Amino acid sequence: MTDSLNTPEKPTEPKTPSEVEGEREAEAPPVEEPAAAESADAAPAGENPPVAEEAPAEGEAAPKKKKRAPRPAGPEARREEPPDFARRIEAILFATDQPLSPRRIADALESSEGRVKEIIRELREHYDADNRAFTVEEIAGGFQIMTRADFGGVVKALFEVEREHRLSQAALETLAIVAYKQPIIRAVIEDIRGVQVQPILKTLQEQGLIRIVGRAEQLGRPMLYGTTQKFLMTFGLKSAKDLPPVEELRKKQ
């Protein structure tokens, strides 16, 4: 017994690193497993998950998507041309007592100037083919239905020209000078005619055949005279450029 008490204890052998690590893992509390990861189809944070469309009940047809109405071609799109479009233009030309511009006719019929000119050209061809006594003439920047020159004598015999529209020989000569030399001042007209023309110019202005178009850049700033649209209408001219050449008039004399 004494021997057993006095027997010295054996020294403890040092533990290896792997044994120390194993003891730590055994003493550590159990670790809870992390929650399952969200599926790839889950909606991202801050956004509402997509809502599945309800399937139609058995026997019901699936609802059709509404189609948008087609938009018009634009603000410049014109309405559909009526079948009597040419007759409408013809009626307007018959009703007017003065030339009408293509733009004015187009605005009245909600069409385009190009289309109006095309119809007028067709009307001319139609009148020529039927050998009508009238046609569509382009005068003073517009169009008007007029009797052909071949029947001028017949019409003149029926309608007497009003006295206020009759021009004296002196007035015709003065008007011709203004028409061919415009813009022109009174002094030049008097030099050409060799007489005073102030009263004649006043008469021509009152009848609307000439007008003051400006002032000359010379001493005294004299007034310049020129013809009017009524002059073109009276003599059946498209513009002043359509006046017959002076040489042609001299041959007729």
Choose among 199, 203, 139, 140: nearest CA to 166. 203
pLDDT category at 121 given cuts 50, 70, 90 is very high
- CA-to-CA separations, 141 to 2, 50, 208, 240, in angstroms, rounded: 151, 69, 17, 11
pLDDT category at 238 given cuts 50, 70, 90 is confident
pLDDT the model gives residue 89: 94
Whether the Cβ atoms of residue 228 and residue 207 lie closer than 8 Å to each other = no
Choose among 235, 239, 243, 167: nearest CA to 205. 167
pLDDT category at 20 given cuts 50, 70, 90 is low
Domains identified in the chain and CATH numbers: 85-153 (1.10.10.10), 163-252 (1.10.10.10)
pLDDT digits (tens, 9 = 90+) for 77-97: 356 888 999 999 999 998 888
pLDDT the model gives residue 28: 54
| Token couple for 98 | 């003065």
Q: How many beta carbons lie within 10 A of that of residue 72, not counting itself?
A: 8
pLDDT of 143 higher than 80: yes
pLDDT the model gives residue 74: 37
pLDDT the model gives residue 166: 73
CA 47 to chain CA mean position, Å: 49
Q: Which of 16-25, 225-234, 242-251 has the lowest mean pLDDT?
A: 16-25
